[in-house]
Amino acid sequence: MSKQLHRCARRRSGTRIAALSALGALLTAAALQASEDEALSNEDEASQPQSQGDSRLTLLEFGVDGDGTGAAGVFTSVAVPIGANDTIRGAYDHTTFDDFEVLLSDGTIRTVDAKPATRIAAGYRHGFNRVGLNFGAERWGNEDQLQIDDLSVGVDYRAERADWSLDLIDRSTDIVFGAAPGGPREVTVDGWGISTGFGYLTTPVDFYLSLSWYDYGDELDTDLIQAVLGNRSPLSVADSLIDRSALIGGRHQFDIWSFGMEAGWYRGAVTSSETKTLAAIFGLTLSPRVDLQFTLGGVSTDLEDTTAYGVLSLQAALGGS
């Protein structure tokens, strides 16, 4: 795999969980629990490559994912260099979920109509030699249950074999409680967060670490967000209301394939429930600029047994010299 592709892909599996749906949480919130876990939505920005030589590459990715609850999605992303110092990014994800049951605070069980979730994201980076200034905007969810809007600004430093990033995030969340006593009720929760990432690339080992922290003030102190979730998709771990998260991973590159492991921890902002992830990442180099990657992992929470998930993606680099 090329160095540029390797840098771009190394956090892909964790980012898919984060970037693809929070509908489980989205649905959780819709069913009275903003079940919360969110993760690493800004990891894409932290891991996008920037060549240090005369090669400026357009990076494309296409993929599918699914899990043991019946959730399934498709996603695509692109990063395009503009001139010598600028890069624009875009991403689109769409995920569908099976309906599931939740236990309400009055002891009754209700089935949640799990509507699809869509993520649209755009970003811009201007480079000052090895230092970059980043701006991003992202919307995830749907208007019927949960919709999260993030605006971010950050800096990064990219050396030949290492990179570091720090992003400040302004978050606005609209939650619709369709099962609330007395009829549907809508709540808006505002917050802010910090996300930081570090990566180190050698031959043949790649290592990365990501941390995030969010603050929602007193706006989460509501009895509406207290139901116990009955079923949740691993693909939704990342996009609901978390207050802390950590992700660590590494990968070894062999001649034409690679193998890595990745572990994540997320704590919800509402009920302080914890979610843990563990995944194996397999990569196959189809050509110097095309990679196929498969991730197989499991997610466990305070409320659920372990549920499996998988991600399959094709990554390609175009242009350059």
Task: Specify the range with the lowest mean pLDDT, choosing from 212-221, 291-300, 308-317.
Answer: 212-221
Conformation bin of residue 9: beta by default, left when phi > 0, alpha when psi is -120 to 50: alpha
The pLDDT of residue 188: 83
With 90 as the cut, is the pLDDT of residue 249 above it? yes
- Top pLDDT among 239 and 181 is at 181
DSSP 181: T
Q: Which residue has the tokens 């480079």?
A: 127
Which of residues 86 and 148 earns the better pLDDT score? 86
Q: How many CB atoms lie within 10 A of CB 225?
A: 24
Fold (CATH) for 3-318: Porin (2.40.160)
Domain boundaries along the sequence of the chain = 3-318
Cα 33 to Cα 23: distance, rounded to the nearest angstrom = 12
pLDDT at 99: 78
CA distances for 133 relative to 10, 87, 114, angstroms: 21, 10, 38
Q: What is the 3-state secondary structure (H, E, C) of 182-227?
A: CCCEEEEEEEEEEEEEEEEECCCEEEEEEEEEEECCCCCCCCCCCC
Work out the average pLDDT over 163-178.
88
Distance CA 43, CA 18 (A): 9
C-beta neighbour count of 83 within 10 angstroms = 9
Q: How far apart are CA 33 and CA 27, in angstroms?
A: 8
Q: What is the pLDDT of residues 183-220, one digit of tens each?
A: 667 778 889 999 999 999 988 999 999 999 999 876 66
Which of 47-51, 55-59, 147-151, 199-203 has the least mean pLDDT? 47-51
The answer, yes or no, to whether residue 66 has pLDDT greater than 50, is yes
Interval 214-234 mean pLDDT: 57
Tens digit of each residue's pLDDT (9 = 90 or more) over 126-157:
999 899 999 999 998 888 777 889 999 999 99
User: What distance in Å separates the CA atoms of residue 235 and residue 220, rounded to the nearest whole number?
Assistant: 23
Average pLDDT over residues 48-62: 65
Mean pLDDT, range 228-237, rounded to an integer: 52
Q: How far is CA 269 from CA 33, 78, 131, 215, in A?
A: 11, 32, 33, 8
